[in-house]
Structure 1
Amino acid sequence: MPSAAAPLAGPLLEVACDESGSEGEKLVRGSTDTFAHASVEVAPAAAVATIERVRVQARSPATEVKAGVVLRPQNRRLLEWLLGDDGPLLGHAHVHLTDKALHLTERMLHLLPEPEPEGEPEVAGPDALARACTVHRAASERLGREGWLSVLSEFNDLVRAASPAQAAAGASSLACRLSGLDGLLPAGLLQVPVDPDGVLRLVARGRGTLDPIVPALADALRHWSAAGRPLWVVHDVQSALTDAAVERAVARSGSVTSAVLRGVSFVDSHDDPRVQLADFLAGAVRRIASQVLAGEADAGLVELVAPYVSERSTWLGPWLRDPGSRAGGAARRHGSEGESAAART
C-alpha cells in the first residue's frame, strides 16, 4: 500500500470497483472469454436510489443490480437509461475490458523465451500489447480462433501445472505446437524450454502474472488519479488482490497514482451500493463484449457502452466509438471535474 503523502488540493475522490468474468489465471477454455473491471464515482445515496429504481422497473425482488436482469429484452429501456445520457453513470464510470485470449497471447510473448540475467518487468507496455495484437490476429487467421485458442490453452496449462511432471509434459507439447507456426511468430517464441530446470523457471516466472485484474486495476487507478485529487478505492472482496498485487497495480499505473492514492479497502458488495453499481456495469460490458467476440453483437448495445470502455483496454482494435463522443458531452454536462479527468487520461 502507498505510504502517507503530502496533502493535495480538493476533496477526497472515492471510487468503487468490481469485476466480472474472473477465473483467476485460467484464461482460455473456461466459462468466460472476456473480463471487465469497472470503477464508479457515485454518491452512496444516488447508488441506493438507482438500485431501488431498477428493482421497481425490472420487477425484481433482488437487492442488488445484476447485469443479467437489466440485459433482458423486456428491460432494454431501463438499461438504456442506466448507461445513457440521463443515467447516473455516464461521466462517472470507467471500464477496463480484457479479451482473455489476447491477454494470454501478450503474456506468452512476454514470458518466452527466458529473460536476460538482468530480469524483466512483470507487465509489458503498449509496444508489447501492439505486438500481441499482431500475433493474435495473424495466428487466429491462420489457425482459426479455436485453433489458436488450443495453442494458448497449452501455454496456460503449462504455467498453471500442478507438478513438475505435468509441467514437463506441457512444455514438450507446447514446443511441438509452436514449431508448426514457423514464420508467423517471433523466432524467440519458438524456444520453449524442455529441460527440467528451464521448465521450472518458466513456471515460477509465469505463476501469479496471468490474472488480468492487476493491469485492469492499474488502468482504473491511472484514470481516476488524473483528476489530481486524493484518491481512495473501495473494491469488492477479491482474493487475487493481495497487498503485493495492489502494489504492482500502483507501480504500473505511474507516479501520479503513487502520489494521490490514499488507500484501498475491501467490502462485500452487499454492503456498498456503489460497488453493486460497479458490478452491474462490469457484468453488462463483459456480456456485450462476449457477444462481439462471438459475432453476435447488438450494435445499439455496443455503442451504448462505448463511452465507458477504456482506450487502454486489452482488446483487438478500438472499441466502436460514436464520432460525436457521448463521453465528451457527459464530461461537460457533469462539470469541470469530469472534464479534467477525461482530458488527462
Structure 2
Amino acid sequence: MPGTIACDESGSEGVNLIGANTDVFAHAGVRVDVGAAADCVGELRDRIGSPAVEYKANHLLRTKNRAALVWFLGPTGPLVGRAGVVLVDKALFVTGKVVDLLVDQVPYPDCLARRPDSRTPTLHHDGLRLHGPRWVEFLQSFTALLRTSQRRGPGVAPSEFFAQRDVLSSLARVPRYGGPLPAGPSPLASNGLEHPQPGSIRLEPPRIDPSPASEHLTELRDQLLADPSLVPPLDPLMPALVDTVTHWHPTTVIHDEQPSLTPARLATLLGPTPDIRFVDSRADPRVQLADFLAGVTRRLAEDALHHRGDPELTALLRPYLLPQSIWAAEL
C-alpha cells in the first residue's frame, strides 16, 4: 500500500529519560510493501544464518554480521529513500522541555507541539560545563517532578525541585521566547546545530520569576496526576510519532504494539487521521524492518554519543535521519 508506513521504536522508557537504561531514543518509519519487506527479512536471514526464530537489531550489530549490516544500510540496500528515523538524545530532549515549561512556561497542551530551538543545546552545554554532574541530577529531578507513575520510585515535589537554586540561577540567563514556536523540523541536525536565521526567533530579555514558574509546573503536574490519559509531555515517543507522520503523510500507519499510544492520546496528537493499526512486530515484515532500523540507529548513535562511534556505519546511517531529530552531537 503506497500510503502505508510501518513503525517501531528503540530505547523507549516512557518519561524515565535520565539515568535510564539507554541515553538515546529512535523511532523508525519505513515505506515498503509486504512482499519487498519479506524478501529483505529473508535476505538478512540468509546473510546472517542464525537459527533464531525472531531476528532483532542485535543480530545485525554483531561483528561477524557486519557485511549484512552494511548491505542493510548501504546505498544498494532495501531502504534507501524508503525509510527514516527520528533520533533523540534524551538529555537534550529533557533540556528542551526545561526551556518550554520552565523558561517559556508554555501551557498544556500547547507544549506538546513545541520542538527545541537553538537555546536548548546552548543550555545543555553550559549546564554540563558549569555544574557537571549536578546538571544531570537537575534534569533527573525535572523528569521526576512531572512523572505520574510511582513504579520507578517517588517523584519530586515542586518545593524540593525549586530549592535547587544553584542550577536554577543559571536558567535566569536563558532568553524567553516571545511567541509560539511552530511544530515541524527541529533546528537540531545530526551533524550539529543549524541556527535559525536572524530575526526568525523573537526573544525577550532573560527572566525567570520562581513564583510563576513554580505555579506553572505545579499546575501541569496536578493536571497529569489527575488524568493519566493525558499525553505525557516528557515522553519522546509521542512527538517522534507525530514527526514521522508529518514527514511521510501516510494514510495508514502499521505500528508495533505500544500500550502508551492509547486512542485518546492518538486523537490529541494526530486527530482522526491517519488510520493507525497495532501489530506484533513478528507478524509483519514491514514492522520488523522498522524494528531493525530503529534498534541499529539507537545503538550506533549511542556509541557515537559516548565517543565510541564507528565512522563507516554512522556515515551509512546519516541519510536516514529525519530533520526533526533532536541531536547535536557529532555523528
Give the deviation of 1:109 after TM superposition.
Answer: 2.1
From 110, 125, 140, the counterpart of 2:128: 140
Q: How does 1:76-225 map to 2 (within 5 A)?
A: 76-112=66-102, 115=105, 121-126=110-115, 128-144=116-132, 146-160=133-147, 170-185=157-172, 186=174, 188-189=207-208, 191=210, 200-205=218-223, 208-225=232-249
What secondary structure does 2:42 align onto? helix
Q: Secondary structure at the match of 1:27?
A: coil
Q: For 2:302 and 2:209, locate their aligned partners in 1 and report how far apart those are by CA, in whole Å.
A: 30
Aligned residue among 284, 288, 295 for 1:272 = 284
Q: Go from structure 1 to structure 2 and tell me whether the alpha carbon gap of 1:162 and 1:286 turns closer, same or farther (over 3 Å shift).
A: closer
Please give the per-residue CA displacement for 1:252-293, whole angstroms capped at 9, x wherever unaligned: xxxxxx7xx441111111110110110010000000111111
Q: CA deviation at 1:213?
A: 0.9
C-alpha offsets along residues 78-122 of structure 1, whole Å, 9 cap, x if unaligned? 100001111111110010011111111112222226948x86613
**Equivalent in the alignment of 2:189:** none
Following the alignment from structure 2 to structure 1, what is the Cα–Cα distance between the partners of residues 302 and 253? 27
Give 1:316's aligned residue.
328
Separation of aligned partners in 1, 2:149 and 2:217: 13
C-alpha deviation, 1:178, in angstroms: 4.1
Counterpart-to-counterpart distance in 2, 1:34 and 1:24:
12
- Helix, strand or coil for the counterpart of 1:112? helix
TM-score by length of 1: 0.76
CA distance in structure 1 between the partners assigned to 2:245 and 2:82 by the alignment: 14
- Aligned with 2:135: secondary structure? helix
Q: Secondary structure at the match of 2:17?
A: coil
Q: 1:66 aligns with which of 51, 56, 62?
A: 56
State the shift of 1:177 in Å.
2.4
Contact 1:67–1:284, Cα closer than 8 Å, also in 2:
yes
- Structure 2's unaligned 5+ residue stretches are 175-205, 226-231
**Structure that is richer in helix per residue:** 1
Pairwise CA distance, 1:204: 2.9
In the alignment, the residues of structure 2 paired with residue 120 and residue 64 of structure 1 have an alpha-carbon distance, to the nearest angstrom, of: 39
Question: How much has 1:218 moved relative to structure 2?
Answer: 1.0
Contact 1:38 1:93 in 2 (8 A): yes
TM-score by length of 2: 0.79
Q: CA deviation at 1:75?
A: 0.9
